[in-house]
Amino acid sequence: DHGGGGGHGDDHDHGNDDHGGGNQPTPPELLPNGNYSLTPGQGFSITVDSIDSSAGYNNSFGHYFADSNGNPIAGSIDFTNVKDSLGVGDAVTINYGAGDIPHGAVTVGFFIVPNGGSLNPLLPEGADVTFSLNNQSQWTVNYNGQPINGEQAPAYFSDPNLNPDGAFDHSHNNAGQISFEDLFGGSGTSDRDFNDVVVNVKLDAYTAPDTGHGDDHDHGNDDHGGGGGHGDDHDHGNDD
Protein backbone atom coordinates (compact mmCIF):
# COMPACT_ATOMS: atom_id res chain seq x y z
CA ASP A 1 0.00 0.00 0.00
CA HIS A 2 1.42 3.37 -1.08
CA GLY A 3 -1.00 5.71 0.65
CA GLY A 4 -3.66 8.17 -0.41
CA GLY A 5 -7.02 8.19 -2.26
CA GLY A 6 -7.92 4.54 -2.76
CA GLY A 7 -6.55 3.66 -6.19
CA HIS A 8 -5.60 0.04 -6.84
CA GLY A 9 -2.58 -1.11 -8.82
CA ASP A 10 -1.93 -4.50 -10.34
CA ASP A 11 1.71 -4.28 -11.53
CA HIS A 12 2.72 -6.64 -14.37
CA ASP A 13 6.51 -6.60 -14.95
CA HIS A 14 7.75 -8.20 -18.24
CA GLY A 15 11.32 -8.80 -16.98
CA ASN A 16 14.80 -9.51 -18.37
CA ASP A 17 15.61 -5.86 -17.89
CA ASP A 18 18.81 -4.42 -19.32
CA HIS A 19 20.20 -1.47 -17.42
CA GLY A 20 22.72 0.08 -19.75
CA GLY A 21 23.55 3.57 -18.65
CA GLY A 22 24.48 6.89 -20.06
CA ASN A 23 21.89 7.76 -22.66
CA GLN A 24 18.61 9.40 -21.81
CA PRO A 25 15.81 6.94 -22.69
CA THR A 26 13.68 7.79 -25.71
CA PRO A 27 9.91 7.31 -25.34
CA PRO A 28 8.06 5.49 -28.13
CA GLU A 29 6.77 7.80 -30.87
CA LEU A 30 3.52 7.56 -32.82
CA LEU A 31 4.01 6.44 -36.43
CA PRO A 32 1.80 7.06 -39.49
CA ASN A 33 0.49 3.46 -39.43
CA GLY A 34 -1.01 3.93 -35.94
CA ASN A 35 1.69 2.03 -34.03
CA TYR A 36 4.49 3.37 -31.83
CA SER A 37 8.21 3.04 -32.50
CA LEU A 38 10.50 1.14 -30.14
CA THR A 39 14.11 2.10 -29.46
CA PRO A 40 16.50 -0.90 -29.58
CA GLY A 41 17.93 -1.74 -26.18
CA GLN A 42 15.43 0.37 -24.25
CA GLY A 43 12.41 -0.56 -22.15
CA PHE A 44 9.11 1.28 -22.16
CA SER A 45 5.83 1.52 -20.27
CA ILE A 46 2.24 1.71 -21.49
CA THR A 47 -0.54 3.24 -19.43
CA VAL A 48 -4.04 2.53 -20.73
CA ASP A 49 -7.29 3.89 -19.29
CA SER A 50 -10.63 2.85 -20.79
CA ILE A 51 -12.77 5.99 -20.99
CA ASP A 52 -15.94 5.19 -22.90
CA SER A 53 -17.80 2.53 -24.85
CA SER A 54 -21.00 3.11 -26.78
CA ALA A 55 -20.92 -0.40 -28.22
CA GLY A 56 -23.44 -3.18 -27.95
CA TYR A 57 -20.47 -5.56 -27.81
CA ASN A 58 -18.37 -6.29 -24.74
CA ASN A 59 -15.06 -5.68 -26.47
CA SER A 60 -11.62 -6.82 -25.33
CA PHE A 61 -8.64 -4.46 -25.69
CA GLY A 62 -4.92 -5.16 -25.68
CA HIS A 63 -1.51 -4.21 -27.03
CA TYR A 64 0.80 -6.11 -29.36
CA PHE A 65 4.36 -6.11 -30.69
CA ALA A 66 4.99 -6.09 -34.44
CA ASP A 67 8.05 -7.00 -36.50
CA SER A 68 9.68 -4.99 -39.30
CA ASN A 69 7.03 -6.26 -41.74
CA GLY A 70 4.24 -5.01 -39.46
CA ASN A 71 3.15 -8.52 -38.50
CA PRO A 72 2.04 -9.09 -34.88
CA ILE A 73 4.39 -11.21 -32.76
CA ALA A 74 2.99 -11.27 -29.23
CA GLY A 75 0.98 -9.10 -26.86
CA SER A 76 -1.29 -8.90 -23.85
CA ILE A 77 -4.95 -8.43 -22.96
CA ASP A 78 -5.29 -5.15 -21.04
CA PHE A 79 -9.09 -5.20 -20.59
CA THR A 80 -11.12 -8.38 -21.12
CA ASN A 81 -14.22 -6.18 -21.23
CA VAL A 82 -13.56 -2.45 -21.54
CA LYS A 83 -16.98 -1.71 -20.02
CA ASP A 84 -15.82 -3.09 -16.67
CA SER A 85 -13.41 -0.19 -16.09
CA LEU A 86 -14.89 2.86 -17.80
CA GLY A 87 -14.07 6.37 -16.64
CA VAL A 88 -10.91 8.34 -16.03
CA GLY A 89 -8.70 6.89 -13.29
CA ASP A 90 -9.10 3.11 -13.75
CA ALA A 91 -5.77 2.83 -15.52
CA VAL A 92 -3.46 -0.11 -16.22
CA THR A 93 0.30 0.41 -16.53
CA ILE A 94 2.42 -2.27 -18.21
CA ASN A 95 6.20 -2.04 -17.76
CA TYR A 96 8.62 -3.72 -20.16
CA GLY A 97 12.34 -3.94 -19.51
CA ALA A 98 14.56 -3.93 -22.57
CA GLY A 99 15.09 -7.67 -22.33
CA ASP A 100 11.35 -8.43 -22.22
CA ILE A 101 10.53 -7.04 -25.64
CA PRO A 102 10.07 -9.96 -28.06
CA HIS A 103 12.92 -10.65 -30.45
CA GLY A 104 12.35 -8.86 -33.74
CA ALA A 105 9.78 -6.38 -32.39
CA VAL A 106 10.21 -2.85 -33.74
CA THR A 107 6.81 -1.30 -32.95
CA VAL A 108 3.98 -1.66 -30.45
CA GLY A 109 0.31 -1.18 -31.31
CA PHE A 110 -3.19 -1.89 -30.04
CA PHE A 111 -6.03 -4.23 -30.94
CA ILE A 112 -9.57 -5.12 -29.97
CA VAL A 113 -11.38 -8.45 -30.07
CA PRO A 114 -14.99 -7.58 -30.99
CA ASN A 115 -17.32 -8.88 -28.27
CA GLY A 116 -14.37 -10.76 -26.80
CA GLY A 117 -15.60 -10.29 -23.25
CA SER A 118 -18.85 -12.14 -24.00
CA LEU A 119 -17.42 -14.83 -26.30
CA ASN A 120 -14.42 -15.69 -24.08
CA PRO A 121 -15.68 -15.59 -20.47
CA LEU A 122 -12.56 -17.32 -19.08
CA LEU A 123 -10.09 -14.92 -20.72
CA PRO A 124 -8.14 -13.21 -17.90
CA GLU A 125 -6.93 -9.63 -17.91
CA GLY A 126 -3.17 -9.46 -18.30
CA ALA A 127 -3.16 -12.66 -20.38
CA ASP A 128 -0.14 -13.03 -22.65
CA VAL A 129 -1.25 -13.73 -26.21
CA THR A 130 0.24 -14.71 -29.56
CA PHE A 131 -0.98 -14.18 -33.12
CA SER A 132 -1.44 -16.38 -36.17
CA LEU A 133 -3.24 -16.35 -39.51
CA ASN A 134 -6.42 -18.43 -39.64
CA ASN A 135 -7.63 -20.38 -42.66
CA GLN A 136 -9.13 -17.17 -44.08
CA SER A 137 -5.76 -15.38 -43.78
CA GLN A 138 -7.07 -13.21 -40.94
CA TRP A 139 -4.84 -12.33 -38.01
CA THR A 140 -6.17 -14.10 -34.93
CA VAL A 141 -5.34 -13.63 -31.25
CA ASN A 142 -4.42 -16.82 -29.37
CA TYR A 143 -4.38 -17.54 -25.64
CA ASN A 144 -2.77 -20.78 -24.38
CA GLY A 145 -2.52 -21.92 -28.00
CA GLN A 146 -6.24 -21.54 -28.68
CA PRO A 147 -7.87 -18.80 -30.77
CA ILE A 148 -9.79 -16.08 -28.94
CA ASN A 149 -13.23 -15.74 -30.50
CA GLY A 150 -14.40 -12.45 -32.02
CA GLU A 151 -17.76 -11.32 -33.43
CA GLN A 152 -17.69 -11.03 -37.27
CA ALA A 153 -13.87 -10.96 -37.20
CA PRO A 154 -11.06 -12.28 -34.98
CA ALA A 155 -9.58 -8.85 -34.19
CA TYR A 156 -9.08 -5.28 -35.37
CA PHE A 157 -5.73 -3.49 -35.10
CA SER A 158 -4.37 0.05 -34.84
CA ASP A 159 -2.38 -0.73 -38.01
CA PRO A 160 -5.11 -1.03 -40.68
CA ASN A 161 -2.90 -3.26 -42.84
CA LEU A 162 -3.60 -6.11 -40.39
CA ASN A 163 -7.37 -5.79 -40.44
CA PRO A 164 -9.46 -8.57 -42.01
CA ASP A 165 -11.73 -6.27 -44.06
CA GLY A 166 -9.39 -4.94 -46.71
CA ALA A 167 -7.21 -2.59 -44.63
CA PHE A 168 -10.35 -0.87 -43.31
CA ASP A 169 -9.30 1.74 -40.74
CA HIS A 170 -10.77 0.65 -37.39
CA SER A 171 -9.02 3.12 -35.09
CA HIS A 172 -8.15 6.79 -34.71
CA ASN A 173 -5.44 8.17 -32.44
CA ASN A 174 -6.07 11.74 -31.32
CA ALA A 175 -3.20 12.92 -29.12
CA GLY A 176 -3.05 9.63 -27.22
CA GLN A 177 -6.77 8.84 -27.16
CA ILE A 178 -7.46 5.75 -29.28
CA SER A 179 -10.99 5.24 -30.59
CA PHE A 180 -11.99 1.92 -32.18
CA GLU A 181 -14.81 0.92 -34.50
CA ASP A 182 -15.91 -2.67 -33.73
CA LEU A 183 -18.08 -3.59 -36.76
CA PHE A 184 -16.79 -5.31 -39.87
CA GLY A 185 -16.13 -2.64 -42.51
CA GLY A 186 -16.08 -4.52 -45.75
CA SER A 187 -19.66 -5.76 -45.38
CA GLY A 188 -21.07 -2.25 -45.15
CA THR A 189 -22.35 -2.85 -41.61
CA SER A 190 -19.88 -0.49 -39.95
CA ASP A 191 -21.31 2.79 -38.71
CA ARG A 192 -17.79 4.33 -38.55
CA ASP A 193 -18.59 6.21 -35.35
CA PHE A 194 -15.31 5.21 -33.64
CA ASN A 195 -16.87 5.32 -30.17
CA ASP A 196 -17.11 1.58 -29.49
CA VAL A 197 -13.84 1.48 -27.54
CA VAL A 198 -12.25 4.74 -26.37
CA VAL A 199 -9.00 4.38 -24.43
CA ASN A 200 -6.43 6.93 -23.30
CA VAL A 201 -2.90 5.62 -23.89
CA LYS A 202 0.47 6.98 -22.80
CA LEU A 203 3.82 5.45 -23.69
CA ASP A 204 6.98 6.38 -21.79
CA ALA A 205 10.56 5.26 -21.55
CA TYR A 206 11.09 2.77 -18.71
CA THR A 207 14.14 1.45 -16.89
CA ALA A 208 13.33 -1.27 -14.38
CA PRO A 209 14.92 -1.40 -10.93
CA ASP A 210 17.52 -4.14 -10.51
CA THR A 211 15.81 -6.45 -8.02
CA GLY A 212 18.24 -9.32 -8.52
CA HIS A 213 15.60 -11.97 -9.13
CA GLY A 214 13.75 -13.20 -12.16
CA ASP A 215 10.27 -13.95 -13.41
CA ASP A 216 8.76 -11.21 -11.29
CA HIS A 217 5.02 -11.32 -12.03
CA ASP A 218 3.66 -8.91 -9.43
CA HIS A 219 -0.14 -8.76 -9.73
CA GLY A 220 -0.28 -6.38 -6.81
CA ASN A 221 -3.41 -4.32 -6.11
CA ASP A 222 -1.01 -1.65 -4.79
CA ASP A 223 -2.59 1.55 -3.56
CA HIS A 224 -0.84 4.45 -5.30
CA GLY A 225 -2.81 7.31 -3.80
CA GLY A 226 -4.29 10.34 -5.43
CA GLY A 227 -7.78 10.65 -7.00
CA GLY A 228 -9.28 7.22 -6.39
CA GLY A 229 -8.26 5.61 -9.66
CA HIS A 230 -7.41 1.94 -10.04
CA GLY A 231 -4.10 1.05 -11.64
CA ASP A 232 -3.34 -2.43 -12.86
CA ASP A 233 0.47 -2.31 -13.23
CA HIS A 234 1.65 -5.44 -15.05
CA ASP A 235 5.40 -5.95 -14.46
CA HIS A 236 6.82 -8.77 -16.62
CA GLY A 237 9.85 -10.07 -14.67
CA ASN A 238 13.24 -11.75 -15.25
CA ASP A 239 15.11 -8.69 -13.98
CA ASP A 240 18.87 -8.73 -14.44
Q: Which amino acid is at 168?
A: F
Q: How much is the pLDDT for 1? A: 42
Contacts of 121 (CB under 8 A, 6+ apart): none
Strand pairing category for 60-66 and 107-113 = antiparallel
Distance between CA 181 and CA 187 in Å, rounded?
A: 14
Buried b (16+ CB within 10 A) or exposed e, 208-236: beeeeeeebebbbebbbeeeebbbbbbbb
DSSP conformational letter for 227:
S
Looking at every residue in the chain, the average pLDDT score rounds to 79
Q: How much is the pLDDT for 230? A: 38
Counting as low any pLDDT under 50, the low residues of the chain are: 1-10, 15-21, 186-187, 211-231, 237-240
Q: How much is the pLDDT for 233? A: 59
Q: How much is the pLDDT for 153? A: 94
Whole-model pTM above 0.95?
Answer: no
pLDDT digits 0-9 by tens, 117-148? 999 999 999 999 999 999 999 999 999 999 99
List phi, psi (to 5°) of 56. -75, -30
Give the max Cα distance, the chain: 54
Distance between CA 173 and CA 201 in Å, rounded?
A: 9
Q: Please, which residues bridge with residue 131 across strands?
A: 141
Distance between CA 5 and CA 206 in Å, rounded?
A: 25
